[in-house]
Structures are given as structure tokens and as C-alpha cells.
Structure 1
Amino acid sequence: MKIKISLIVIFAIFSQTITSQKSIPTIKAISTKLDIRDGNSFKRQSWTISPQINPDVYETSSLGQKVTFITDKDSITVKIKKDTKLDFIILLNDSTKAYTQIKYKAVPQYLEKLKNAEKYNYSDNRFIPNFSYQSIENPNLVKIRKDLKLDSIAGTGNEISKILNLLHWVHNTIRHDGASSNPASRNAIDLIKVCKTENRGLNCRMMATILNECYLSLGIKSRYITCMPKETQFDDCHVINMVYSNEFKKWIWIDPTFNAYVMNEKGELLSIAEVRERLIKGKTLILNPEANWNNQASQTKKEYLETYMAKNLYRLQTPLVSEYDSETWKNVKEITYVELLPLDGIEQTPQKSESINNQTKVNFTYYKTNNPNLFWTKPTE
């Protein structure tokens, strides 16, 4: 009798296991790449099917919205709730199973942290040297303009159209790869060349460096800006460009990694300072519709501005001299950076510091200021 009961229990458990396995949804695929629609964001070919990862988890913060995985043969959709954890199988070529999961993850409150960083000190008059911009007549910039055929790329339209044409060109020419190492030579010509030769991408800093030199070569004043979180130790930051418009007498936000610029409700282009202020005060921000990552994942205001950039607009740093080859570290070279930080920044002092890279022998000087007017000063003619 005991043996009979045991067999019944074992059979019941086995049957339950089989039923449970059969209940896991399955979608088919031939290609290892698939698209994801996450709320209002469409991410083309952004997911790689990886059977070796079990389960391969996709995390989303799109609470109340739908997430759809779209293969070349099938699709699966789930509406995201706080307890969402959808397990499913992607059957690759009718033979290989890839166990996959869509899971909700709450968004860190980066915007709330940024709101606490609103205050600056406009009376901070601690010394900072004047910012400068290399002349359009510099031989290296002349070579960049000629070799890269930038006059043709910029076009014959007005100043803003030229600025945006160059933005789109760099974005479409260089693939972003945040995990890539920086090449030894870091000027526009050599960076583009190494990408073509090695079929590789570049990180955001190198993309902004290329675009900065392109602008300078056409006589457009530009700096690249390292956008950082509050923490002094961090795994991620972002580098974009601030470009001066003589037509509008202001700086404007330009991001080659995401092909992005930002506008107000009137369609007017905004500066980095204006975007930061509007995020803090909850004012209207409009992201250009073609903003995307690697022409694969479209960007939304919520993802790009209210989450990613809200994290990285806490502290800002820029080179004092905007020039050709500024990121190539050579012997006896001197590089100066200026950092703008809010009053509740963690490390306010020393206001000036110096260091030497023992490997490259490059001399670095760092200045700090709490005064936005000094940091965002307009270029002189």
C-alpha cells in the first residue's frame, strides 16, 4: 500500500512539473536579434537571444504600459505591473530554447535628487582662467574640414541647419560602444579612421570629441561637457556638446550619441543649463523625434531626460581650451578642466588641484566653481 501511495505521489509531482513546463509561453525565432517595444519606445534589433543565460532577464520601468518582444517569426506582449515577472521561451530555429524573462524594476529617483541640487552661488568669484576656442585657421582644423568634406556635410543652409547636419552625420557615421577602449590617437580624423579599419565603435566622450572638432573647423564655437552624477565614484556618466549659436546668442544642447537636442514648448532650442533648470522645475521639455541610440532604440523624454540625464546633470565638467586633439594625452602636455557643481556637491574643495599622469606625463589642472555664469560664459569673437 505504501509503495502504491508513493508511486501516486511521484506521478502527481511529475505530471505537475510537465504541466508547469507546458504552461510557459513559447515564441519562435530564426534570427538571434529581435526588436522590443517598451511603452512608447521602439528598440530595433536591441536584444540578442542568448540560450546560455538562464533566464536572460529584461528589466523595464514602464509601469502600466505594454512591453512586446518581436522576433522575425513571432511576438509576445505583457502589460507591466509592479509584480510582473513573465517567464517565456524563445525557440531558436525550432531546436534551441532560450529561457527569457520580462521583469519590472522601479526607476531610481534621479530627478528628485537633481531637484535637491538646484542651488548655485552666483557670487562665487574664485578665479577661473578664461575659456578659449581654437581658430578656424589652425592647420589641423583646416585639414579636418577638407579631408572629411565638412562643408558639403554641413550644407548651405543657416547656422542651426549646419549644426544639426553635423550632429546627424557623426551619429550615423560612428557606432556608439560604451564599453570600448579609447584609441591612442583621439582626434576626429584618426578616430573615424580606426572605426572604419577595425569595424568598431566609440564611447560617448570620443563621439563628442569628433563632433567638437568638426564644429571648430567650421568656426562654430563648441565645447564637450562631461555630465556626472552626484557621487564622486560612479560607473556611468555621459558626454555631450554645448554649441554656441551666434544667431540666437546662446549655447544649445547637442548629443551625438543619441542624435539628440532639446526644445521648449515653442520649439526653441535649449541649452544644457536650460534643460537642467526645466527638469528641476517641471517645465515643458520636448526631445527631437529622431533621437535614438545607434539607429536601433528610439529615445523618449522619460528615459533620456527624466531618468538618464537627470542622473548625469548633477555635476558638469569641461576643458578650459577647446581645441584639436585635446583628448590625446602626450608627454609634457597640459590639460585644464573646469567643474560646475551645486552647493550640496560632495567635494567642494580644493577649488584648484593639480596632478600628473605617471604613464603619459600629462599635467592636469582642475578648477571648481559654484557660479554658472562663469561656467556658461559666452565666447568672445
Structure 2
Amino acid sequence: MEIIADNEPDIERAKRLLKWFHDEVPHNDAPNIDTLNAISIIDSYRSNRHAHGCYPLSIAMNEVFLDMGFQPRTVICFSGRYPSPEDGHVINSVFIPSLQKWAYMDPQDNAYVTDEHNNLLSIAEVRQSLIDNKPLKLNADANYHGKADDIKDYLYTFMAKHLFRIICPLNSEFGSQTRTKGKVLHYVELLPVGIKDTEVDGFETNVNLKIGVQVITCHTNNEQLFWKKP
């Protein structure tokens, strides 16, 4: 990875790391492996061609960014109908020091988003632009399983639906999302003003007695606090 991204401006480093990981580990909606960290996720594909869903891909991408000196976050995105069977998507947000802002990054699709002037956008800016119907652009090499992304399908339909509930692990560190006995996982969730907390699901406060894992989730409507600079 040092060869891929060393000695470049931070924006280009982040983009090149995104593409490297996207090419390194392909997407497939397969069951999660037990150990969710970048080493296990990458090795499981290299050794037995086990491709991964968007959640493991985001976890591994997060840890790749961490290893390369960035401050990233795994970002779990759900619709307003979750936890009904409406699926979801998991992407990344990486802080770009030169821009002093978070940037939207999707390792599943090798996707990042810009405005009409090619300024890299954050998840919050993408969400607000969708609400305001402002023009958005995807990078030309964004793709799903090798097929170029259609911006209307990807952004204006799929992501527009899922940028409603946004959840992040409170701690962005190696191995933080592997659920082992006795572990306590902390999350923070951004909810639109006036929306009630959801029913219990895997990312809401609960105790899973079967595997001995406790989840504690705090909720906020404060977007500025949620996206506070590191």
C-alpha cells in the first residue's frame, strides 16, 4: 500500500486506496466471516475467493485507511423503513486534512461523489444535495461488479433511500467490529429531527445472550456534532 499511495496529496491517496481495495476484494452478498478485520477479510478472498458484502468491505476499507494514517469511519446507512426488509448499505467516510472535511467513499462500488465543480463531497453534503436536488457527479470508474454505475440508480434511487438513518461505531480502530464473547460495542446514530428510535436490531442497544455481546447505541439529531472534525 505504501507503493500505491505514498508521497501523494491526501485526496489522491484516499482515491487510490479506495480503488486498490475495491480491486483487491470484490463484492458478494455472502455471510460474514467470524473475524471482521482487514487482515482476515483480505486473506479470506486471497486464500479461498470468499468475496464479501458491503459491511465487511467497509470494515476492511476503514482499517486500510487507518493503517495509511487517515482518520476514517465505517458508516451504516438505512432507510426510514428499517428494520423491515428494506436492506441497507455500508460505506466509509474519511477525513481529508487538506480539505478539513469528511469525504464520501464506497469501497463496494469504488465510488466517491463530487459537485458540479468537481469538489469532493462528504456524506452530509451528498445527503443535503439529494434533498435540495442539486447536481452531483460520480467518478467515471465507479462500478458494481465491473459494470459502470448509473448515477440515477446509485445515488438518486439507492443512496437517496438509505441516507436516512446513519450509524457509526464510536471507536474507529482495528478489530473493533468483531463480535466476540464479552465484548461491548458502542455506536452513535444520526436520526432526522422528529424520528423515533427504531425497534431493537443488531445496531440498537441490546444484549445478545447467545454470543455474549452487548451493544450500546446513542442517538442524536445534531448533524454538526455527529460529523464533528476529528
Residue correspondences, number = 226
Structure 2: gaps of 5 or more residues: none
Partner of residue 191, structure 1:
41
Partner of residue 245, structure 1:
96
CA distance in 1 between counterparts of 2:143 and 2:68 reads 26
Q: Which one of 143, 149, 170 corresponds to residue 292 of structure 1? A: 143
- 1:218-251 Cα shifts (integer Å, max 9, x gaps): 2200001001000132341000000001100000
Q: Structure 2 length as normaliser, TM-score?
A: 0.94
Q: Which one of 268, 289, 301 corresponds to residue 151 of structure 2? A: 301
Counterpart mapping for 1:43-82 below 5 A: none
Partner of residue 223, structure 2:
372
Q: Provide the secondary structure at the position in 2 that maps to 1:202.
A: coil
Structure 1 contact 262–287 (Cα < 8 Å) conserved: yes
CA distance in 1 between counterparts of 2:198 and 2:110 reads 33
Give the aligned residue type for 1:205: Y
Partner of residue 273, structure 1:
124
Max radius of gyration: which structure?
1
Partner of residue 183, structure 2:
333
Partner of residue 322, structure 1:
172
Q: Structure 1 length as normaliser, TM-score?
A: 0.57
Alpha-carbon distance, 1:330 to partner: 1.2
Counterpart mapping for 1:1-381 below 5 A: 150-178=1-29, 180-232=30-82, 233-295=84-146, 297-347=147-197, 354-379=205-230
Q: Which has the higher strand share?
A: 1
Structure 2 contact 78–164 (Cα < 8 Å) conserved: yes
CA distance in 2 between counterparts of 1:273 and 1:260 reads 16
Structure 1: gaps of 5 or more residues: 1-149
Alpha-carbon distance, 1:354 to partner: 3.4
CA distance in 1 between counterparts of 2:21 and 2:62 reads 10
Partner of residue 45, structure 1:
none
Alpha-carbon distance, 1:348 to partner: 6.7
Structure 2 contact 79–86 (Cα < 8 Å) conserved: no
Q: Provide the secondary structure at the position in 2 that maps to 1:303.
A: helix
Q: Which runs of 4+ in 1 moved over 6 A?
A: none
- 1:145-184 Cα shifts (integer Å, max 9, x gaps): xxxxx21122321111110111001110111012x00111
Q: Provide the secondary structure at the position in 2 that maps to 1:167.
A: helix
In the superposition, relative to structure 1, how do residues 371 and 221 fare at CA in structure 2: closer, same or farther (>3 Å)? same
RMSD: 1.6
